[in-house]
Structure 1
């Protein structure tokens, strides 16, 4: 029950159904989810570990704001983990692995062509996890899974800030090098994605946030 409540709340926060700053009351969530308060509290503890909720001792719990510095760090770490995995996984790849990764890359390409940010983020995570599993490195896989919700959440809130032409070019570069089992080329393409293309999305989101009219506190 706690796992189900956790997954439902996590998804609601990641997709923006529960907005940053929104208060989360145990009894209201329990009623809405058809459960007791205990699984809700367990779920909120886990969400706090991911940085998706802020829990104020003896006060209230709220959906955490999106901190762009934290998002930068998460994307940089995600990229470092994946890039590190490429060097170890590529020599181990068999034909079946390349076929599977190519299928996953097709999903990512389709998401970019459809300008579907949610699908792109999901495909990115799936391919990175696949590399970690080929390498046989559970730690890398766990780190990627841990970072996934925070990155997906930002992506859902910043759909208009993505440069899909740049994503398309990066995806093509990753795919070409990957199918050729070119570790150096794959790492270079990933470095471009994680050091240039995705940080630029955050820069645009940050610039946009500066121009959003904020009502006065007493409005």
Structure 2
């Protein structure tokens, strides 16, 4: 497994969640490619932590379907499986729909302004071809409504399955970025109008229209 030459610059006192998120992001952004073997000792050295949080992170990644773990043998990055991506996409879309239903009744003008600002930055990132920034700001925009919903179960499910969707989405993000900007604008407009059903439908469609890896 070729370890990236750059130092991730992580604090050696990393929490387990930090190790998990860093490895998760490295898989999602393609730093570790499908089929690549992941060795806990090398990963621990790269992150500057002990092997224990790395092993725990790999177990969580296996539960999310991002790696295939063979106890006593090897752990490899999972290939993109169309069925798994499609299933994850359906779950993620349903969770965002639910989050919006719970968030719209309590959304404030400050929350809407935060979403508008995020969408402006999203559009700029898409326009410049910065996929990393676009994905990050997209999560920020939708995260406003997830936070407002106050539903910890929704947040937990999204944390588990969104990375699988993002892996497939990144392949064609640029081709549908402009569509996402428009969907965001409509979502914000409906939230501002207090149209719970309309906003929920747009949120569902926004996520359910993401590529599943087919074609």
TM-score category (smaller protein): 0.7 to 0.9
Q: Is 1:190–2:198 an aligned residue pair?
A: no
Q: CA deviation at 1:38?
A: 2.7
1:74-129 CA-partner distances (Å, limit 9, x unpaired): 22211111112222221222222222232233333333333443333333333333
| Higher gyration radius (CA) | 1
Q: Which of 170, 186, 197 is the equivalent residue of 2:183?
A: 170
Distance 1:148 1:123, change over 3 A: farther
**5 Å matches for 1:129-208?**
129-156=143-170, 158-159=171-172, 162-195=175-208, 197-198=209-210, 201-202=211-212, 205-207=213-215
Q: Which has the higher contact order (CA 8 A, sep 6+)?
A: 2
Q: CA deviation at 1:53?
A: 1.1
Q: State the secondary structure of the residue aligned to 1:54.
A: strand
The alignment's C-alpha RMSD in Å is: 2.5
Q: Is 1:65–2:79 an aligned residue pair?
A: yes
Q: Which of 84, 107, 116 is the equivalent residue of 1:93?
A: 107
> Which range moves more in the overlay, 20-29 or 1-10?
1-10
1:159-217 CA-partner distances (Å, limit 9, x unpaired): 3673234333323322332333332332332243234x31xx33xx422xxxxxxxxxx
Q: Take 1:173 and 1:54, find their aligned partners in 2: how far apart are those partners?
A: 39
> Which range moves more in the overlay, 108-117 or 7-16?
108-117
Write 1 or 2 for the structure with the bigger share of helix. Answer: 1
Normalised TM-score (structure 2):
0.79
Unaligned runs of 5+ in 1: 208-219
Distance 1:114 1:180, change over 3 A: farther
Q: Does the 8 Å contact 2:89/2:162 carry over to 1? A: no
Q: Does the 8 Å contact 2:126/2:174 carry over to 1? A: no
Q: Does the 8 Å contact 1:52/1:64 carry over to 2? A: yes
**How many pairs align?**
201
Unaligned runs of 5+ in 2: 1-13
Q: State the secondary structure of the residue aligned to 1:181.
A: coil
Distance 1:181 1:194, change over 3 A: same
